[in-house]
Structure 1
Amino acid sequence: MSRINIGNNAFILPEPQSIVGTHYNGKANFMALAWLTRVNYQPCLFAITVNKNHATGLGIVESGEFSINIPHEGMHRETDVMGLLSGKRVDKSQFFDLHYGELKKAPLIRECPIAMECKLVKTVELDTNIMFIGELMGTWTEEKYMTDGYIDIEKVKPMTLSMPDNHYWAIGRKIGKAWHDGKELKDRLKK
């Protein structure tokens, strides 16, 4: 089969779905966000990308803090509405039970199995978006989402987003172990 070029609007599959929180005009605000990644080991840094005109981006610039909340697959409606409503016109905090960790302008969502608070350390201005790089200051969860001291993906049941078709997906099955399953192939290399 021949390969085809599908253009320049491809996305990474899948994208981790989150709900980002900050304060905007003095109150908690949230948006659905899948453009995020870890970008450094120590200190632990995350990068998120937000449109320059969104209330969330303006709030992060104003407060210097944000949260990354990982919803479970049963929260797809609540997650979706965070992308349908504007924080400039609606108080989106009413959808969630909130709490705060060390940072007082990075609202954390109790319903989310994982909630991380980040302090802004750098911004990168792009054409339409701003990339915010934040240092992880704390990760909040419950024992029921842990196995052997680690967050358990099967217990958390996070969801992902596919773009540009715009669908939410549940996580599938475990297929292997990282930094382990390739050892046999590595050992086959001729030295």
Structure 2
Amino acid sequence: MSKQSWKGAALLNPVPPVLVSCGSIEKPNLITVGWAGTICTRPAMVSVSIRPERYSYGLIKDSGVFAVNLPTEGLVRAVDWCGVKSGRDVDKFAALGLHAEPGTVHPDCPILAESPLALECRVTQTIPLGSHELFLAVVEGVCVDESLLDSEGKLRLDRAGLIAYNHGEYRALGKRLGTFGYSVRKKRPAHPKKR
């Protein structure tokens, strides 16, 4: 396999595009963030990286809270649109026919009603990085659509129709290739068939 050496670039792909909601219930806003990630299990923490000139940056800085809404295939147009339009100029919820509802932990911070799962976050630290500022946040609550729970109450995100962003293209998630730990799991011995 022949490879070329390029100048350093942020080409870690695919990524989960998320709709970050912020502002207030009276004036909610959405921003598409492609640079979001899990950073800690205990306490549960995530990060989002946002340019300081973005409208949402100031809303999050001022309030110290935001919600990460996981988008589905049905929200892919909204994901794209909220990534190219500014909340300074347009009410994104109204323009897209979307609905903001109060979070359960942060009732003054909107969550996206159409998203099947929202992480309610409180900023603990910000790190200026250059073109972006990294918001580190504790996940203080999770709002989950009950349709994503199986009969035992287990979360089934595979039912949500979540999307990925891969170098300029939105993609549906594909078939399952394995499960956590499958590469080291011992196989069960085959039981002889009864006659």
> Fold conserved (TM > 0.5)?
yes
Partner of 2:189: none
Alpha carbons of 1:5 and 1:61: their partners in 2 closer, same or farther (altered >3 Å)?
Answer: same
* Cα distance in structure 1, aligned partners of 2:8 and 2:146: 43
SS across alignment from 1:87: coil
- TM-score if structure 2 supplies the norm length? 0.86
Tell me if 1:15 matches 2:2. Answer: no
Q: What does the per-residue CA deviation read over 1:124-148, in whole Å, with 9 as the maximum and x for residues that have no partner?
A: 1111111001111111122211234
Q: Is the 8 A contact 1:122 1:134 kept in 2?
A: yes
Partner of 1:182: 184
Q: Is the 8 A contact 1:65 1:105 kept in 2?
A: no
Partner of 2:158: 154
Q: Is the 8 A contact 1:20 1:31 kept in 2?
A: yes
Which structure: larger Rg? 2
Unaligned runs of 5+ in 1: 185-191
1:76-155 superposed matches below 5 A: 76-94=76-94, 95=96, 96-100=98-102, 101-147=104-150, 148-155=152-159
Partner of 2:40: 40
Alpha carbons of 1:50 and 1:168: their partners in 2 closer, same or farther (altered >3 Å)?
Answer: same
Q: Aligned-pair distance for 1:10?
A: 4.3
Q: What does the per-residue CA deviation read over 1:73-98, in whole Å, with 9 as the maximum and x for residues that have no partner?
A: 12111111111210111112323111
Letter matched to residue 182 of structure 1: V
Letter matched to residue 172 of structure 1: G
Q: Is the 8 A contact 1:50 1:131 kept in 2?
A: yes
- TM-score if structure 1 supplies the norm length? 0.88
Give the RMSD, CA atoms, in angstroms.
Answer: 1.6
- Name the % identity: 23
Comparing 60-69 and 154-163, the one that deviates more: 154-163
In proportion to residue count, which structure has more strand? 1
Unaligned runs of 5+ in 2: 187-195
* Cα distance in structure 1, aligned partners of 2:175 and 2:47: 27
Letter matched to residue 38 of structure 2: R
Partner of 1:74: 74
SS across alignment from 1:68: strand
* Cα distance in structure 2, aligned partners of 1:105 and 1:131: 22
